[in-house]
Amino acid sequence: MSDKTIIVITGANTGIGYEAVKAFLTASQPYHIFVGGRSPEKVESAINSFGDTGIHTLVPFQLDLLSDESIAAAYAKISSEVDHIDVLINNAGAASSTPTTRATLLQDYNVNVAGTYAITDTFIPLLIKSSNPRLLFLTSGLSSQEEAGKKDSPRYFNPPAGWPKPPAPAFLSYRVSKTALNMIMIDYDRLLKNDGVKVWCISPGILATNLGGNPEALKRMGAEDPYIGGVFIKNVVEGARDQDTGKVIRRQEVQLW
């Protein structure tokens, strides 16, 4: 175990998390990856789909970001098996595509901000024991306030006068929650600086995952293969963007706040 980089990744039985695990399995250096998801059966199925993992080890664990008991149980399991972790990848998230209401705002915030904060806070004691600790949060290009406020941005929606307004660009609850998540990252970057933890928000681009509800519809809008996001995560873990810690990073640039 001592020669393997130990990773904990949430929401890894599907989407970008699954593709990140797939990318790590191509590495020449060995990884020991705790693969998390809400459904134990789906996590096991995802792990089985990889077949022979060679020098790498995949270990399933159950995690529901809406349950403090689930987070505590995940920590108890992992801390009983390893004395540290090297990387925590906060990939699990939620995106309400229905019209914005109090309920959708609370739902996306509870998962993407409160739940992500809770698991990070729980696992910090294991992370800071690493000799090369890394903390990643999966955010979104939709979280950029500067881009959303630009009048020439496709994300700026200027409807005609009157009320009610026609539907605005979707996912307001998701966008608001991911903007808040960026602030969580900034605070952890500050708090963990003297512990040597490298911290980022990862903005992987528009990818055809189930998070948007319909991968095929997203592809028609120009969404890329989720594996691109998985490779991006792997590259960050392996040091490709160490000069950009404490920032929201895209594959080719630093994202505006």
Integer Cα distance of 201 and 186 in angstroms: 9
| Three-class secondary structure of residue 40 per DSSP | helix
Non-local (6+) Cβ contacts of 191 within 8 A are: none
* Angle subtended at Cα 78 by Cα 83 and Cα 204, rounded to the nearest 5 degrees: 105
Residue 139, phi then psi, degrees to nearest 5: -110, -150
Integer Cα distance of 83 and 127 in angstroms: 9
Distance of CA 249 to the CA centre of its chain: 13
Packed helices 172-191 and 116-127: angle between N→C axes, nearest 10 degrees: 20
Radius of gyration of the chain measured on its C-alpha atoms: 18
Q: Is the dihedral of CA 83, 85, 90, 91 positive or negative?
A: negative
Integer Cα distance of 13 and 57 in angstroms: 15
Which of 22, 178, 198, 234 is catalytic? The answer is 178
Is it true that the peptide bond before 164 is cis, omega within 30 degrees of 0?
Answer: yes
188 flagged as catalytic: no
Which two tokens mark 119?
A: 């698991």
Which of 96, 140, 173, 177 is catalytic? The answer is 140
Which of 18, 75, 174, 188 is catalytic? The answer is 174
Q: What is the amino acid identity at position 212?
A: G
Enumerate the active-site residues.
Answer: 140, 174, 178
